[in-house]
Copies of this chain bind each other. A is one copy, B any other.
């Protein structure tokens, strides 16, 4: 029998009621999510426990699709669960609830995919996951860290089910509309007309003036209520503000600056509401603290250390069981352990064999072979008091000395005096008897775990339960178990409310069975038997092989960028690739859209044809499931439905966008703020247009190229306000190009727009607009003080700078960065001082340096060229490359010194001397002058190292002869100056080429 929306709801209510949740009701005003319901927003604040579950029909105007999309609507039905405090096993409870509504984990692919939730309108954030069922996001699972600007303690677990998507998956349906709501009535019959009407209202009908008035009135009422200390009435109006804002936004009425203002207002209100509520609860002495009762089931299993009997080296196993780590956090944790474990063992003076660190999203495993059973005994030198204060005038030990001796357990007589740290001190040689390894590890392993750090960490334990860790316990995701075996013996260290034991857990799709590890050295075998692929590289290899095989089976080749492979490998414990497909008709969508959806959204590997011309995409892709082969068909179908819905959605956006010409989007750029002082995106676009015009001669564009470039510049940023780009930002530029093409713009124009965000545009008009865009950003943002700092680069200026340098290099185009930047500076609405311009150029040079280093050039060569000709990156590279060849020559060590002699002797002269040829008296100097004149006459390409050195090399015999025979610093001033002038002219042969003095061996 198929499920219905209402059976799911009834089952979830029953499940969570049986697990101690209150069952609540949807809120009585439009909310975008169950989170906004005060049963979440308010109740997660403060110390009181709170467990609740309720349905929340969630209204999100901009998700309206006129009832045309299979699984996206302006109103969807959430089931919201709050568990506060964390019950310790919320993921397991959640998975049980899925089983309760009929989702067998063996038949499906359930995935926890990193998601860092944030809701700026209510000043809230948390860490957790999207939970995917066969590729479909069916649940948001979050450990709230902050709500209403308040840090949560205890942390609350939020589980938000998307019921429509669950229903689709349960019934293996392609769309929601024909699925049953209840007996005999479909979802579509209940809701489809509503979807159409509301979409029409939100996108077309809603009156913007009236809605703005509504917003203002709501805000005023919210404030009036707050002034009276009325939390709920005020919060009701905050919610109404929020919904009204969403409608305005959907209607396209809100610019970026304004958006910030709106968010600021709502955030402030939400914060005040939260604060007032907390005060109230405090005054009321937290009534629910008595009610629900804290379930402090201490799991002090009273483990005693009976481990000191071990006398031979043993394997050490440490497994840190954790809820699904984000892919990059898993990599990072492994890297850290690879450094920290050996360091720890060394610090602890524990001898050991090979160390292996591996991990999956749910476990970090450390295996140490042959770990000694006991620390080595050793003598530690302990510094005591200064010698002069150690003995009195008669040479008797002072109390200071006696105390020091006692403290270190040695006789005063056994102390020595040593010279150290610039003085003389009494020292004790203290014998440290090695302690048993288990004892040492029990003390120090908590520190090892605590020492793993992440970019974003979370709390999950109440502060009251992390008393031992004053800063609180944090990790990427909650720690759920610890296995620690030394041989066969448990090392029962404690951390984060857990005590290490020998029990680990199997695969999620197998319901995470408990698995006992009898001994450390059995671990790999047992884990393997339980279908877990512990090693990242092994998982990658399995995926790569599988994906290639599947792609080949349909005469295709998978698109498998390394970062995607790495991510996918870290999303599973047991990878199982399978092939999915989609309707051919979707191939009509821009390829970038298709790839972006598959790769970025779904983590699929797209497939290109190896047979057809131009390697077009095939309507297929490879999914990597977590688990074995059971239920693969269901998993495939589920994923196919998802991708179909996503493509349908893209189709919707594109169709909507195509109702207008790209040109017509352009004015709306005025509503998007680029940066407060630098104006709107429209302002920026206009600056780009002007700058492009200025760059045309600098890039020596042909006449037609210049026309294309200027047209492309005109339309450059227009797609930013298209629906497709608003939805998938990664498609900016790409969509602009696509829409330009469909509008009938010249292909070169479309191409230029399309490649504006590429690191290296391949067309010259594309290069022109990209440079204009990037230089504008650099000049403007530096000028308003937004140069990137070590850790922050919100505007991506590093990328912009590389984006200036790299194409010039790759396309080998000579360019005068300095004057281009001057042009850019002159167009900014704020003054860009010379100083700032220099900063920008230095910043670009910095990027250029990195590029050159990355190309493998030697540091000294790079520097030698950079100081001289960094304004022309293409030239720089050419010069560096040439110089590198020269430096690699076997005779370089004879060439360089010749030039160096000329430079070194003249380097400190402040004055430039004019050479008077008639004043030369000695042959060697006359000869050298003649050689110089010859060299100077050679034709040279500006900046060419080759030309310079080829000119110089013939002079070397004359240089050597000169220095052998002639005293440069002659007593007679005029003679000296003439000779110096000669050498100066030789040295300056390298002007505009490189500063060879930077070279090794100079």
Contacts and interface: CB of A to CB of B under 8 A. Distances in A.
A631 interface: no
A591 interface: no
A221 B233 contact: no
Given A10-B23, A28-B57, A194-B232, A217 B206 contact: no
B77 A25 contact: yes
Nearest to A31: B28
Interface stretch (A197-205, A260-268, A422-430, A744-752): A197-205
Contacts of A31: 28
Nearest to A27: B28
Given A17-B6, A26-B26, A233 B293 contact: no
A30 interface: yes
A224 interface: yes
Interface string A171-208: 00000000001111110011001100110110011110
A22 B190 contact: yes
A448 interface: no
A231 B197 contact: yes
A184 B292 CA distance: 6
Interface string A261-297: 0000000000000000000100010011001110000
Q: Give the one of A13, A23, A59, A284 with max B CB within 10 A.
A: A23
A206 B221 contact: yes
A217 B221 contact: no
A29 B198 CA distance: 14
A225 interface: yes
Q: Give the one of A20, A55, A57, A201 with max B CB within 10 A.
A: A201
A182 B233 contact: no
Given A28-B26, A213-B213, A225-B205, A288 B220 contact: no
A331 interface: no
A220 B206 CA distance: 11
A915 interface: no
B291 A185 contact: yes
A182 B21 contact: yes
This chain's copy number in the assembly: 2
Contacts of A77: 25
Nearest to A233: B201
A895 interface: no
A953 interface: no
A220 B209 CA distance: 11
A20 B181 CA distance: 12
A41 to B, nearest CB: 13
A284 B194 CA distance: 14
A22 B10 contact: no
A786 to B, nearest CB: 41
A122 to B, nearest CB: 18
A214 interface: yes
A784 interface: no
Nearest to A227: B205
B217 A233 contact: no
A288 B189 contact: yes
A230 B205 contact: yes
A31 B190 CA distance: 20
Contacts of A23: 6, 9-10, 182
Interface in A834-865: none
Given A206-B221, A291-B189, A17 B182 contact: yes
A14 interface: yes
Contacts of A193: 231-232, 280, 284
A28 to B, nearest CB: 5
A300 interface: no
A75 B186 CA distance: 32
Contacts of A396: none
A408 B583 CA distance: 81
A352 B280 CA distance: 80
Bin chain A's interface residue count.
Answer: 35 or more
Interface string A208-219: 001001100100
Contacts of A189: 287-288, 291
B217 A210 contact: yes
A224 B207 contact: yes
A856 B227 CA distance: 70
Given A189-B291, A201-B230, A213 B217 contact: yes
Contacts of A17: 6, 10, 182-183
A228 interface: yes
Contacts of A13: 10, 13
Contacts of A21: 182
Interface string A52-69: 000101010000000000
Interface in A1-35: 6, 9-10, 13-14, 17, 20-23, 25-31
A570 to B, nearest CB: 39
A30 B232 CA distance: 14
Nearest to A43: B190
A512 B415 CA distance: 105
A288 B183 CA distance: 12
Contacts of A210: 217, 220-221
A220 to B, nearest CB: 6
A230 B194 CA distance: 9
A233 B207 contact: no
Contacts of A207: 220-221, 224
B233 A198 contact: yes
B197 A232 contact: yes
A25 B57 CA distance: 8
Contacts of A59: 28
Interface in A362-382: none
A6 B14 CA distance: 10
Given A198-B233, A221-B210, A233-B201, A55 B25 contact: yes
A277 to B, nearest CB: 9
A4 to B, nearest CB: 9
B22 A181 contact: yes
Q: Give the one of A193, A206, A284 with max B CB within 10 A.
A: A193
A25 B26 contact: yes
A946 B70 CA distance: 98
A28 B25 contact: no
Interface string A383-425: 0000000000000000000000000000000000000000000
A184 B29 contact: no
A197 B280 CA distance: 12
A659 B319 CA distance: 71
Contact of A228 (B200, B213, B291): B200
A213 to B, nearest CB: 6
A197 B28 contact: no
A29 B28 CA distance: 5
A293 B10 contact: no
B221 A288 contact: no
Q: Give the one of A28, A220, A228 with max B CB within 10 A.
A: A28
Contact of A30 (B20, B29, B184, B288): B29
B6 A10 contact: no
B26 A29 contact: no
A57 B6 CA distance: 19
A14 B25 contact: no
Contacts of A186: 291
Nearest to A229: B197
A330 to B, nearest CB: 38
Interface string A975-988: 00000000000000
A176 to B, nearest CB: 15
A48 to B, nearest CB: 10
A280 B228 CA distance: 46
Q: Give the one of A20, A184, A228 with max B CB within 10 A.
A: A184
Contacts of A194: 232
A153 B409 CA distance: 101
A595 B59 CA distance: 50
16 contacts: A25-B25, A25-B77, A28-B30, A28-B31, A184-B292, A186-B291, A189-B287, A193-B231, A193-B284, A194-B232, A197-B232, A198-B233, A201-B230, A205-B230, A206-B221, A207-B221
Given A189-B287, A205-B224, A214-B217, 4 more contacts: A13-B13, A25-B77, A193-B231, A200-B228
Question: Can you list the 3 inter-chain pairs with the closest CB atoms, starting with the nearest?
Answer: A22-B182, A201-B233, A6-B23
